[in-house]
Chains A and B, each alone.
Chain A
Amino acid sequence: MGQLSTPSDAGLIDINRQGSARRVRLSLKTRESLMAYIFLAPFLFFFFVFVLRSVVFGGWISLHRWPILAPDKGYVAFNNYVSLMNDSLWWTALQNTVVFAALTVAGTTVLSLLAALALNRPLPGQSFFRILFYMPSLLSVSVVAIAWSWLLNTDFGIINYGLQLLGLPKVNWTGDANLVLITLSLVTIWWGFGFPTLVFLAGLRGIPEPLYEAAKIDGAGGWALFWYITLPLLRPTLLFVTVTGFISHFQVFGQPYLMTNQGGPGRASFTVIMYIFQTAWRFFNLGYASAMALTLAAILMILTLIQFRFGGRRVEY
């Protein structure tokens, strides 16, 4: 308290000697609180302006007819949500998104687990593979889309040429309504499987070796080891990979925006985020778009909770 030099403060201490100790303790606590809020201030500022306020504001917008530039912002209560429930395009977009996310998460999980198992073995070139596998994640979605659209081009693409060499017919990768989500999913798996691979690898390295030794002594083979030790012990990692994967792939935008002419053919690859984008930034209708965004948020939360419920049981070591 060496800085207390103003007469009034000094006087205060002099006059009330008995309370002095308590006062100092109090001000220490206050100072810590003050310090904490100074530390928090920048974050809280941004948090308030761009998150908290925006959530509330978004909810408010969703209850209105809110054309972006026009002055009339009519209050419509829950009409936007009611319209949404009756909007066949919303359901189409939702269905596409769920299919895409499920395919991508499943494919990514299998591939990255395989890759991690392989990388966890004493094989040559490990670090090289590790570096390489994470590399596609560094590419921006535009690069990925440009590269793959051309490879997958029906008439001039090298992949169809390869198929032809094998005696197979040309495939209309992004033009066939039944195939387009699978195509986008494959490209996305290629793009993003590196991160889960590294996460799985970290998980695998965390499994205590003695567990395997013990099981081997009991006569367990490779499959049994994987099935009864590796997989159960990886469950938290698995949960992390699938939950985060699902959330991020549910918000897919760039791949259909760039690769399938904005969600085509027809609506076969039209996703929820594309619909929000179109509604807000092509058709000016912010109210409806906000209702979609909030509904999307609710869906994601429910899905996450379900995944935790079924996958999150504590693992006994």
Chain B
Amino acid sequence: MKKQVLFLSLLALLAVFVVALPIAAQDPTPTPMPVPSATPALGSFGQGGTQISFVNGLSGSDGVTLNGMIEQFVQENPDISVQTETIVWDTMYQRLQASLVAGDAPDVVVMHVWALPQYASIGGLLPLNDWIGTGEGQIDPANFTPLALENASFGGTIYGLPLDFHGFGTYVNNDLFEAAGLDPSQPPQTYEEYVEMATALTLDANGNNPDDPNFDPTNVVQWGTTTSWMRVVFLSALAQNGGRNISDDGTTVQIDTEAGRAALQAMYDLIYTHRVAPPPAGFDNWQSFAAGRIGIMPEGSWFRNFATIDNPQLNWTPWPMVPLGEEPAVWMSSHLFAVPVTTTGAQLEAVRRFVTWLSDNNIAWADSGQIPARLDAQAALAPETYPSNIQFAEAFNAHGVYDYPALGWPEMVARLDAELDAVLNGQKSVEQGLADAQQQMQEILARTG
């Protein structure tokens, strides 16, 4: 018995010690970090008798915007109630597929352009052609760019109604620019200018730039730029170098090409030659930008709310893109409303009203940071509230590049991601990585058609 008491007190003592050690050494002024806001996973809107279920992956602050729109919708349409389920995209797609197989799919979903062929090709989605037209109760196709509608289609049939354009823009930190004696309102026109700017913005702990012989690359406190989301920066750069992911006839992957190598080399050099961007593994772009440790950050249109709402202290300017090649081009995509084939009757009618209403009130979606897909909504954006939306919209309309809508693209992307990751973390050469990606992607393309 004595032994037990002795033992237990010893254990307690050790536990206290383990916990107390970090507390004793606590820094008196810890630095808190901002985190982006989240959308509740489940929502219930309205009391109407016709209930529709709506599943989407907009789990960040964009979902909050969407839920605000739904709230408005049910007020104006008291006979309809909406049940939302908002889960991260990956889980959402897996859930959508499983529920299509099981035959209990939701009434309406939001999906990406790249996912549409997968679901349309297996007959999982309802054709929406008669929702769009110039007739009564239809949505005028003149409200969309031809490219937007084309990318909402599969095999000539429209399966999706575009909610937005989203894609990659660039955010720059004005304070860092001013400290480096640069003007944030003058985006670089060439890769050389970009590197020059980024060099001036990169600082090690002693305040040296990468072109200083005393520069310490192991102790960088401020990065000029970043390779950010590697895949879409690469796809943007590919287009800037005159390339495209898949040939126009849909038979050949064109990653391991002159343009592909130039694009990836430009990204690689930012990290390892010019030393103005961090190796990507484990580097948190959002937090670093918020903490004022990145000068120029290519990032998605969806970054806006994190920059404005969660980090009001940030003083930033949007750029349409950074030059990683000769021609202006930037990766973009769309969120689409799509209706599973299992939706019928009163539900289908309600879904149609719901989606049409969200489209007609598309401008509200700009609060999410994305660009409303409707041209009339784009034209109505207030410049002082939505500077990034307007800048990015111009770039997307003029130079936006969608993913080639191949059936196997999601599977190919998984391979491409891994190879880019390996190259940009210094595990493979640019040539090797692209050759490997090309071979795997071509195989998938051949298999999936």
A residues bordering B, Cβ < 8 Å? 65, 67-70, 83, 86-89, 124-125, 128, 154-156, 158, 161-162, 165, 172, 174-177, 262, 264-267, 270, 278, 281-285
Contacts and interface: CB of A to CB of B under 8 A. Distances in A.
A266 B231 CA distance: 12
B410 interface: yes
Nearest to A172: B282
Nearest to A65: B447
B122 A264 contact: no
Contacts of A124: 3-4, 6-7
B427 A177 contact: yes
Given A162-B21, A165-B25, 17 more contacts: A67-B122, A68-B97, A69-B123, A83-B443, A88-B440, A89-B418, A128-B8, A155-B287, A172-B281, A175-B281, A176-B281, A177-B281, A177-B427, A267-B418, A267-B421, A281-B98, A284-B118
Grouping DSSP codes into helix (H, G, I), strand (E, B) and loop, the B interface class, with mixed when no group exceeds half, is: helix
Contacts of B3: 124-125
B33 interface: yes
B414 A278 contact: yes
Interface residues of B, number: 43
24 contacts: A68-B97, A68-B122, A69-B123, A70-B121, A70-B123, A86-B443, A87-B443, A88-B439, A88-B440, A89-B418, A125-B11, A155-B287, A165-B22, A165-B25, A172-B281, A175-B281, A177-B427, A266-B417, A266-B421, A267-B422, A281-B97, A281-B98, A282-B411, A284-B97
Given A155-B287, A175-B282, A281-B98, A265 B22 contact: no
B352 interface: no
Interface string B426-444: 0100000000100110010
Given A67-B122, A281-B97, A265 B440 contact: no
B90 interface: yes
Contacts of B7: 124-125, 128
A284 B121 CA distance: 11
Contacts of B45: none
Interface string B62-104: 0000000000000000000000000000100110011011000
A245 B6 CA distance: 36
B282 A69 contact: no
A177 B440 CA distance: 21
A283 B410 contact: yes
A125 B8 contact: yes
A69 B100 contact: yes
Given A125-B4, A266-B418, A165 B281 contact: no
B284 interface: yes
Contacts of B410: 282-283
Contacts of B427: 177, 266
B279 to A, nearest CB: 10
Given A155-B284, A172-B282, A88 B436 contact: yes
B243 to A, nearest CB: 23
A86 B442 CA distance: 13
